[in-house]
Amino acid sequence: AQMKFSSERLKSALLSGEESKRLCVPLLILLAQQRNALMFSLLNPPLKLISELVDKSQSAFLQFSSFLKEEFKDDYLSILPEMEEMESVFKLQPEYIFHVYRPVMREVFDRDFLIEEEEGEVLEEKEE
């Protein structure tokens, strides 16, 4: 019960205020950009420290994106920027963009696949 209450509070905090000032997308973008910032910002970084920080930032990104997918099931696509914008404006790596859009693409694929499958069954019945 405590976990559900906490996630509801986080969701409402991320959505509070005007649409342009909501925090969910900027936070997602910053978490995705963090890996490149860590890897390419220092000239001779201590490798062990950098690898640990990269792992932690990756974990935080995965956890936050998972939270968004679960809490914003119906509104998930509406809170995301366009894929092109994520690449050109925010300079995100393709693996982050596709990770964020994977649930949307899966839903579209499943819906289209089911429609084609149903149409195929209808065609088979008409041929018989």
| 62-94 residue pLDDT tens | 999 999 998 888 888 888 999 999 999 999 999
Contact 38, 53 (CB under 8 A): yes
Cα separation, 64 vs 54, whole angstroms? 15
Cα separation, 103 vs 73, whole angstroms? 9
Contact 27, 14 (CB under 8 A): yes
Is pTM beyond 0.85 here? no
What is the 3-class SS of 5-66, one letter each residue? HHHHHHHHHHHCCCHHHCCHHHHHHHHHHHHHHHHHHCCCCCHHHHHHHHHHHHHHHHHHHH
Reported as a single tens digit per residue, the pLDDT across 37-66 is: 888 877 777 889 888 999 999 999 999 999
